[in-house]
Amino acid sequence: MAVAALAAAGLPGTASARTPDSPGLPGPAAVADASPALLTAMGRDLGLTRAQARDRLVNEAAAGATGGRLRLALGDAYAGAWVRGAESARLTVATTDPADIPAIEAHGARAAVVTHTLAALEAASAAVDRAASRTAARTTAVDAPVRYVDVRTNTLVVQAVRPAAAHDLVVAAGIDRALVRVETSADRPRPLYDIRGGDAYYMNGSGRCSVGFAVTKGTQQGFATAGHCGRPGTTTSGYNQVAQGSFQASTFPGRDTAWVATNTNWTSTPYVKGQGAANVQVTGSTQSPVGASVCRSGSTTGWHCGVIQQHNTSVTYPEGTISGVTRTTVCAEPGDSGGSYISGSQAQGVTSGGSGNCSSGGTTFYQPVNPLLQAYALTLKTTTGPGPGDPGEPGEPGGTWAAGTVYAAGAQVTYGGVTYRCLQAHQAQPGWQPPNVPALWQQV
């Protein structure tokens, strides 16, 4: 598939996450509606002033969109992207090909030339996951429970309670040891089962979990949540004990995805419950880069923020291994499971599990929302207006669909001679052509 050419204009050598050749990306006015609760939580958890928090939202939205476009343009040489600085003002994009440096710098990002492609590291990670899933290695995997690609160090990290367990797992996977860095850690992640929070719901009249994000499937309303909360057919009632709906699909382990279809007593709304029960609007689901801020909502510990550490992380819980989750510094405790992770106004994922707590600090993992939506052909419920950190200019109405473009809800494109209307704000990816993703596009 042809990819739009990299812009020739720019400021080579700069490292700003806000690229000068992207006039559609939001300025300070675009975050004027940022929730005071969101800014307060970012200040508390990330040590930011309110002005820094606003700037960070703008920069991270721009970096997410720019990083996504560069990933498509660099192709097989792409090795990851991350932001740095209190305001996330410095975007770095890694490549294995030095010839890519001018193109990266033309987008206002710093280029890093590394040894291993992201695809190679992710293939090694997948091999370790397969080894961890084999019966003979399951006990070993429990002692080396977290694996992820660290794009900043260009390595596959295996965190282990016993370093010998990490070594055994790598040997069982049959991968090049030079790709791997072992970190000793006492963390033993677990799903956050005990008490469920956020806008709580009850499963079969007993345990509780949290609503992740409101969704629709055609005319059916419902919500996305964690797969470990229930199986297909599990009935739910709402926070007020009123009959609510039932699980339609669920995957756990492997992934941690599920969705619940609700009855007519319940209406989907495009909001996340913020601090003090304030509404935080959801305008899309553009993925934020490594280093970006992210906030989580849960009833046990409330509204907390932190930083995205790695995407595509693998975790071995006692129940089995899940892959493709994102690792963060946001704290959580039992009862926060299933709840929402959001960067600015962009939905990121639903709480899976973690370690530590919100008194001494912790590490958590979320199931990214975009794969969940794609797996079940769901449409995220969003507001129609711009939100804090909105990722940028939608595709031109009537223009031709192109991977890497950020489309706003309501934007119209043509593909194969047919006109489509965007149902959910997103950044288009290869394979997401309008006929392939009815959850994102509707034929006009």
Q: What percent of the chain has pLDDT over 70?
A: 86
- 345-404 pLDDT, tens digit per residue, is 899 999 999 999 998 889 999 999 999 999 999 999 988 644 444 444 444 445 789 888
pLDDT grade for 409, boundaries at 50, 70 and 90: confident
Task: State the burial class of residue 323 (Cβ atoms within 10 Å of its Cβ: 0-12, 13-18, 19+).
Answer: buried
User: Given this model, what pLDDT does residue 221 score?
Assistant: 92
Domain residue limits at 421: 399-443
Does any domain span residue 259? no
105 and 34, same structural domain?
Answer: yes
What is the rounded distance in angstroms from the CA atom of residue 95 to the CA atom of residue 114?
6
pLDDT grade for 179, boundaries at 50, 70 and 90: very high
State whether residue 3 is helix, strand or coil. Answer: coil
> Nearest CA to 124 among 314, 366, 310?
314
User: Given this model, what pLDDT does residue 145 score?
Assistant: 86
User: Given this model, what pLDDT does residue 31 score?
Assistant: 52
User: Given this model, what pLDDT does residue 87 score?
Assistant: 93
Does any domain span residue 323? no
Which tops the pLDDT comparison, 201 or 198?
Answer: 201
Lowest mean pLDDT among 21-25, 87-91, 93-97, 399-403: 21-25
Query: What's the token pair of residue 290?
Result: 């490594």
Q: What is the DSSP letter of 331?
A: -
pLDDT higher than 60, residue 299:
yes
What is the rounded distance in angstroms from the CA atom of residue 262 to the CA atom of residue 219?
11
Which residues are the active-site residues? Answer: 228, 256, 337
pLDDT higher than 90, residue 180:
yes
User: Given this model, what pLDDT does residue 136 score?
Assistant: 60
Does any domain span residue 330? no
Can you tell me the mean pLDDT for 223-252?
A: 92
Count of domains for the chain: 3
pLDDT higher than 90, residue 236:
yes
User: Given this model, what pLDDT does residue 12 score?
Assistant: 28
Which of 156, 184, 212 is the last residue in one of the domains?
A: 184
* Secondary structure tally for the chain: helices H, strands E: 7, 29
Can you tell me the mean pLDDT for 332-337?
A: 83
User: Given this model, what pLDDT does residue 429 score?
Assistant: 83
Does any domain span residue 315? no
Which CATH number characterizes residue 415's domain? 2.10.10.20
Does any domain span residue 10? no
108 and 134, same structural domain?
Answer: no
- State the residue for tokens 């770095």: 92
